[in-house]
A and B are shown apart, each in its own frame.
Chain A
């Protein structure tokens, strides 16, 4: 076992921070976009007209059964074909992850909404609330509380999955470490360091999930 040289990690920190910046940006964009699109998908599946509900279900099921790496490759290939001009790896990654996460968030949101007993809506309607008011003031607040831990867990998975932009060469934290490791001829230290960074962030977030679960009284997932 050769001696480790952690100096190279120290020297590459600014460069690695740039990569981490993109990883965080990608996670944030996919989270925000995925939640919005996911909500639309969930509503389409629950109360949309039949063709729309079927289309939403097909979209969700296809996205969830294809390996993410293949989805990333597909988007990188197809988007330029549709728009007629090349799209950078970073932009392609942002679009792909938003579209991909929408399928997963959509299913979580759908389950959350469907976990609210029908009587809640009936009671709200009997009290004179409109359908929209019942959804906004009665169903969604309870649904969000039920969903929060699962949504956060999915976001941890998303944060880890962003590393797969490696397949199209977008420069995230992992790619930055790979490049720095090659430049200094010190891949081992770089990979260990990057693993530690991912581990620390994900462990902190998953401890937060556990606290949320305890606070909301929902048991660990099956």
Chain B
């Protein structure tokens, strides 16, 4: 099951755990009313509390607590009705209070789990805990040759730190974990999952060992901000550790940075240089006590989660597990698919199960393929769910063939127009008029009298040739079923 890495002296297993910092989607910061939106002018979203002015006090933002609880519930985790905010003390210019308010001994969320899928295999990764904490500000070292500037917009913004068990055994699993976590957070809307803007950052712990042996010494790689970098960092770090051990050295527990440009990790500080954070309960805040009834109420606000949705797509709609997995990976994709399906069943009167596979194949194959090629996301798809459903309906109703549908779809991608309009303008309506089809068939048979004779003398395979000729004459618009039936009748007459 575990993927092993071959060293010079045998196989190695890599052991990975992760701490993900996810910014809570909220209007205001964790302990102040200042805005938490991204990208504003430096120091324009800073309250007296965020700047740690003398005498200022934190007040918990209930929305952040609610989102943390929702996230905990979505991770199938224990919600701790009693949790405590602690101060993590250290000095830095972008940490105005001189401490970060975090949760150390009593986090708001305890044990949970995430199911990941790698190469068709499903695995469980344990969640150790989730806690709420403040983000720090930002030191800007590149604004002046000798001075550092500080932007406090981010100071005090709410983060969820989500800590996994060391349950992952390959960079692929780590990547799948991060992607899955992001999917869940985006489904429930507790974090926008935007890794480029820093809404999600991962610290990853990596160690190596001989299979079956106790855990090796780990190194922590800080602030990795994409799935690709995460996997690169793990690959590099595992190889580095294996090389050291195989050369007779030993691993020093340390904090390392990933240099994306060079694709390598390098030492940031050793265990000896680690801060003594002097955690203690923040005396400005009372312990956070939640009522079970409130948690139950919050639980009711959770949408259908990706795993449940995938299972339903397979069981109720008859989708293939592959299509179902692809569709649920982004909540926007699933929403698009479901919107198309809902409209199609409504306008066509067909049961969802009957048309779901066709729609799924089209969304996963044609739409995603086209979007990928155009570098677009589903949110700015040129083909709206409504238009997509209309296109499907034209097919289901037999007004256009699958082949014509692909052609119409190309036009839809280019213009964003409604399929009916394209079909009308281009005269692509399927010919279902049996008289018209019969006339064309007569034409074809008349033009190919020799082939008709051959067919009648037993060369059955020529049937396809006649169909092709009829389609050619109708530019593919003839209803294939009617063509088949009429041809058969005429040829056997």
Do A and B make up one complex? no
